[in-house]
Structure 1
């Protein structure tokens, strides 16, 4: 039944929640396009009562014009004027040609301000007010819960009074029953509560709405997935955000998953995919990042847990779940047994949960167990913003402030920072409302950003600041916070820089300590340069210092500028690749070029087989006794049946003259490969033919 003066709303089931909340029927999956005609018709006679569009066979290519607005029935909202008192089967007359002669008012796309009621006539009967009791909630035992009815309104007057009553669940004490916003303390056991809000308008008419609140041990639906990344290789992660307003223990939550569709619809394949240890605390407004241990270093640096080796594919569903009750709080994907072949669409982007990064919009305040409404159908109705694959710019923080300033680091200098260097930086800051009133940078290490410094406006939207010189051999973390004139704060993602020590370590001492994952600074002469010399797509360079030892510099990407004879300063992490001791994830600067190389240590072929020469420039003289091609990438020469010389094709060394019986001097880097020793030669000039006497 439809009461006089009331409306009935047909909507798509995956429409924006604000539409679905007002809808009376959400089974209407075909909503048409701008050039599809719709009529209100008598079910018994077929008589047309009202129409949008016309019934001709020559519909416009895009949409009909309305009130002088081109294509008004597409990507717009049209609202019937209050002066219209009956349907109109003459669409041309109904649409009109101007704002004055049209029966319709044309609004911009996604304007739903008038949905759920209609002002009719020119001063007839009073319209009932519309009550809005807020969103349903899942809250923790004993937490403070807020019910917010301030979204209620009266179309033809004002709200005169509010009245809250509890309609289900264990009785709780409301802070007030007559204010738009009230609070109560949640019960300390599992419960389902409901509250009814009655609003009365200035003419005495009333409207009601009901909100439901579930309680669970230590969980809240204000804790939810804020970021999801399905990157290349192992570059996958999940970010969880705490919007509850208080510190939480993540052991009350767990992550559950299904692989390529749930084996049984509605049941997780892996209900305990990630279980958090007791005491895993997450501060209000902070994030917790789950990542693969072999993810990109920029991901691992932001991760709180890197034990998650199964990150799934684009059609694997993941849920944030109460660890005590199994209640689903938030979800990416759905729990059906019919997962898509590749991935789910999000915000109108095909296969968005594969090879993309998804970031929750700042306007989202709680988890959503309805994946269809969470994913949405376009950028406007989705809860997510879809970025290209391997975009991790937002990782490590999440903002819920819709009107918050947008803060992005522009530059940090110098590129190579030491403990004697003042750090200069700039950030671009814009705000959607008001003006930027204050900007500070907070900085520190290991997530403890306890130091603070003000920035100044340099020009336009660019703010600049400095950080005093910091301790060496650390990773400095920086985050810029900006507040606008409305009092809303926005923040950048954390920017990190590794700081070199002005007192370099001796490479010989590093071999003695055999440390791993320690930040160290070294200074020396490049003996074999980078740029793909020893491996065509990676950096494998060697540097040797005054201690007489050398060390490999390694990176998965090619780094230009590390040339033989350069004196360089390097800061990075110590570690091993198989048996090779190296510095990785490093920064460097050139101090000088064209320097003489260290004198190579002269050893016998059998003497070269020693870990004492790992990474160090040595010279071996002997006869080639075996020539062994190494696949298609190089040639291995056995010298005096005692040691090996490795000549990679990427060096460009001509190996045609190196046959059995060849006698030569070879200068290169001592290297252990598994349990075998070899000499890495990088240059043709480091091989000299020896004439037997």
Structure 2
């Protein structure tokens, strides 16, 4: 009670000296009215910290600032900010620490606020915290046991908000008026001390304008809030001469740390940050910056100046503020070349091997080794601060991930690009990649056939896996990938398909002229491919075969060829010279050409067999019938495309049932009688 002027040690009488209010009534906290004092002590003004800005933005764009109006730095020890959520007791607290300069603000935000807010903030807090408030949650600033300032009414739930001028504590930004020189514990008057701005107005964050700053001592240095915050990509652009166009720009950058400290020194730190869009190198010898201990996944705010060192764009921070830890890194991009676009980016180079293992020296401040994927070669830089430095050189093919860098003395040449692994785990064995063993095994560059334009060549699958030709291409000795595109055709192990310079309507005629059954050999015709069939010269030429990525699979080149004779090649693509009838399966066609298209033995005296024989169903599951035109004694052999016999039966009649236990794929059925021999293809599903 206000009339009580002394304490009591006798509770039997002392119990009657109290005014009683309902639970959670805190309207008098931080003050007391007593007849002992005729009036509250006069405010000295500009002598104690108070709230200077409050933002209740969209989503989690929320922050609050505490201002130092005094003429000297203030130790924040003992200062605490509380929240009273929905009229409840203090549910969250933030214990302040450090020192707050004269005229400066201490800014606290959520850790999911807009990057520009986090860049300006001194501390970003995860949920739950004092800044995860809504418009109906009060804030209290306390020094020790003294309440200095409030926003809203602690212990009271207003429903959704407290009115403030033309706005409220919900969906608005509130900035303390410049004339206010102290906090207020009475919201009935304190609510009138704020300028009101629309939601997501942050132009004053990180700073405060107050009349207190115009009085002695001298005003503080400009607050850091005046330094702009940029996206990393905005300050890493280089001009046509390779020079960073933001040299000397002072700014704030926020990003996630990638890798380790690659300086390894007590005099400086060096690492890379990435903001999800772009990355930049960081180097600092400033004592304040060196206080930060580099940890991959940390989100940090850097304040410093943009520079360039041997081509690499960097920021030289004099301030590094830790925001949060455990943040996700960007996904590494797979590359085959390094350049400006890979600087300070996380990239992966696949299927690499060491060009010269002796370059892996494990000496000096680091070493460079050249690596290649068989087509492209890049420089790998192993810094002596990474654990990989002391490891033996990798063997075999490997995938390597790291941060793109540059070290050049010739800025305008755009050279000296490097890939820097962060640790041993960045090098992993390359996944086994199946390379089709497709070889051009035969080329007919000058057929004697006059009925069609019959130049052709043969693609032989010497591997153990079925290969589909979709996306692959070929060219003559010019060797340019994509010149002629191949269609989707399956080539079984051991099978050879024919590619020819005529249309599909003439395929059967081609096969019959070579004493083969229609369909016995797969033929890819001109009108089934993209591009023009290059003319094949008898005076020396070749065929180059490329995969869907444009990588050369094989080439077969010859110096000369005789008219009407194919050129044969071994399984490596080396020329064996002109085909000879009776050698390596070669024979003479009905048109007088010598060769062996499709790697099949020709039919002999086929007659009725070719005209009347059929297989049904085809495709099938290994059970099918062969219907011949006449009854006879027949020998039926089922073979794989390499010619290995899987089953053989001899029957009499014209309907021949066949059952073969075979894996799905393409097979050959050879039917023989006294009349001759014929071979046809059958597909087992």
Pairwise TM-score range, normalised by the shorter structure: 0.3 to 0.5
Provide TM-score, normalisation by structure 1.
0.32
Structure with higher helix content: 2
Provide TM-score, normalisation by structure 2.
0.32
